[in-house]
């Protein structure tokens, strides 16, 4: 039994619908209210879960039962809504990316610190068993000296994704921070830095090829980590019909390759008994589902959000930091902005 239930209010009911469902599924969390200024989104979700539905964010903030505000609005509004929420004494769960520019993320971090509340960022790729296993192998030195991390995200989004009342902000610089790299690709950017460590410099290229959007639908970058290893990241929303994320990691003592949550290669120079078990457990399975998210933006699994919500509840009860803090989610935003800067200037960009 959980010590007590933590009350959640979800703001923004596109992706926020998944937050609402995940909150109701997590022991120790209780969905108090949902909020969207679009009543056609708010009212059915409020009714579905039998909770309060607010059309104005101020009403959600004024609700004393709401302890955590889950922010799932347009990415370039997270800082503003987050600062309003912490000023009202609420804890935060913030969708990825925390905001679209590093300075905006830092302002939210400062606001959270000043208010003395807890704030967790959503980067659900960090919560999957395989990614945790890969991180553990890297941190314990199983791959030896890290040499390279090479990530490809060949996804597909139809033009209709960027249209309509909830589509027009997507692919804009101010609200989405960019396109395939800042929106879809930011999970991959974050994984690369989570696996490899801090990035020292980047060289990037990007362009707009198959969509009418302001920013980009294809990007490629070469990154140099502070530890000297090299990474590449390629993202797109043009690769019909949408293919799995593919990541290759190698050091001087081993190689790992993964395709979404399926392990393709786990080969260590110093093979142990456990390595065969890792291959058997995380390797290809008969009937395993393909990656729907590669082509369907709403096909996000809820498991990662469960893990974030559960951890944030515990962090509040235990008065500790959540696993994915805003600080730890900042570097991904710094990296994608540096890639864009490099693409614009044609020069390598060094991160501060
Ligand atoms: N973790 C993931 O894998 C994942 C997947 C998809 C989207 N996201 C993130 O979720 C966020 C939302 O994306 P989306 O695709 O759901 O966008 P969306 O446009 O479909 O939904 C945003 C909703 O917020 C509402 N809203 C905005 N400001 C509001 C306010 N002040 N008061 C009340 N309602 C307000 C809008 O009316 C809209 O319904 C983005 O930051 C995106 O990056 C994360």
Cβ of 95 closer than 6 Å to ligand 1, yes or no, is yes
Cβ of 307 closer than 6 Å to ligand 1, yes or no, is no
Cβ of 188 closer than 6 Å to ligand 1, yes or no, is no
**Residue 210, CA distances (Å) to 30, 148, 166, 218, 236 in order:** 42, 30, 20, 9, 10
- Cis? peptide before 232, omega within 30° of 0: no
**Res 287: pLDDT:** 60
Residues of the chain with CATH 3.40.50.720: 6-125+300-329
Cβ of 253 closer than 6 Å to ligand 1, yes or no, is no
**Res 66: pLDDT:** 98
Cβ of 15 closer than 6 Å to ligand 1, yes or no, is yes
199-207 and 68-71: which strand pairing?
unpaired
CA distance 279 to 253: 17
**Res 288: pLDDT:** 57
What's 121's DSSP letter?
E
Closest atom of ligand 1 to CA, residue 187: 3
SS3 244: coil
CA distance 213 to 95: 22
Closest atom of ligand 1 to CA, residue 186: 43
Query: What contacts 47, CB < 8 A, 6 or more positions away?
Result: 53
Query: Best mutation site among 14, 37, 127, 215 for ligand 1, i.e. most ligand atoms within 8 A of its Cβ?
Result: 14
Closest CA relative to residue 70, chosen from 114, 3, 119, 27: 119
319: left (phi over 0), alpha (psi -120 to 50) or beta: left
Query: Best mutation site among 12, 62, 71, 85 for ligand 1, i.e. most ligand atoms within 8 A of its Cβ?
Result: 12
Q: How far is the CA of 116 from the centre of ligand 1 (A)?
A: 25
Which residues of the chain carry a pLDDT beneath 70? 1-2, 286-291, 301
68-71 and 218-225: which strand pairing?
unpaired
Cβ of 99 closer than 6 Å to ligand 1, yes or no, is no
Residue nearest to atom 3 of ligand 1 (CA): 300
**What is 6-125+300-329's CATH topology?**
Rossmann fold (3.40.50)
SS3 200: strand
The helix (run of H) or strand (run of E) holding residue 58 is: helix 57-61
CA distance 13 to 70: 10
Q: How far is the CA of 45 from the centre of ligand 1 (A)?
A: 14
Residue nearest to atom 41 of ligand 1 (CA): 75
Cβ of 311 closer than 6 Å to ligand 1, yes or no, is no
| Most distant CA atoms of the chain, gap in Å | 59
CA distance 100 to 170: 12
Cβ of 45 closer than 6 Å to ligand 1, yes or no, is no
Report the half-sphere exposure of 225 (CA within 13 A, side-chain side): 21
Q: How far is the CA of 18 from the centre of ligand 1 (A)?
A: 11
Cβ of 14 closer than 6 Å to ligand 1, yes or no, is yes
**Res 289: pLDDT:** 54
- The CATH architecture to which 129-295+333-350 belongs is 2-Layer Sandwich (3.30)
């Amino acid at each position: 039994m959980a010590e007590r239930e933590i009350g959640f209010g979800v703001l923004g009911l596109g992706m926020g619908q998944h937050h609402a469902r995940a909150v109701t599924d997590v022991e120790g969390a209780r969905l108090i209210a949902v909020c969207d200024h679009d009543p056609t989104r708010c009212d059915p979700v409020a009714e579905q879960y039998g909770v309060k539905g607010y059309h104005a964010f101020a009403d959600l903030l004024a609700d004393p039962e709401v302890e955590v505000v889950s922010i799932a609005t347009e990415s370039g509004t997270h800082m503003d809504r987050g600062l309003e929420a912490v000023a009202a004494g609420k804890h935060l769960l913030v969708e990825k990316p925390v905001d679209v520019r590093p300075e905006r993320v830092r302002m939210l971090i400062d606001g959270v610190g000043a208010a003395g509340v807890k704030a967790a960022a959503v980067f659900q790729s960090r919560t999957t068993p395989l990614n945790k296993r890969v991180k553990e192998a890297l941190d314990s030195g199983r791959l030896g000296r890290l040499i390279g991390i090479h990530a490809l995200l060949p996804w597909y989004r139809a033009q209709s994704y960027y249209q309509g009342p909830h589509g027009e902000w997507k692919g804009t610089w101010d609200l989405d921070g960019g396109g395939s790299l800042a929106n879809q690709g930011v999970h991959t950017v974050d994984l690369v830095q989570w696996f490899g460590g801090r990035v020292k410099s980047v060289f990037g290229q990007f362009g707009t090829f198959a969509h009418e959007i302001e920013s980009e639908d294809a990007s490629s970058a070469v990154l140099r980590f502070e530890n000297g290893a090299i990474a590449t990241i390629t993202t797109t929303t043009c690769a019909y019909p949408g293919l799995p994320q593919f990541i290759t990691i190698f050091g001087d003592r081993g190689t790992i390759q993964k395709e979404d949550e399926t392990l393709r290669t786990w080969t260590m120079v110093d093979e142990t008994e456990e390595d065969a078990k890792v291959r058997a457990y995380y390797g290809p399975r008969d009937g395993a589902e393909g990656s729907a998210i590669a082509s369907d933006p709403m096909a996000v699994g809820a498991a990662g959000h469960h893990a974030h919500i559960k951890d944030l509840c515990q962090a509040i009860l235990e008065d500790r930091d959540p696993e994915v803090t805003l600080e730890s989610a900042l570097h991904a935003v710094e990296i994608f902005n540096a890639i864009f800067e490099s693409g614009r200037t044609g020069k390598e960009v060094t991160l501060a």
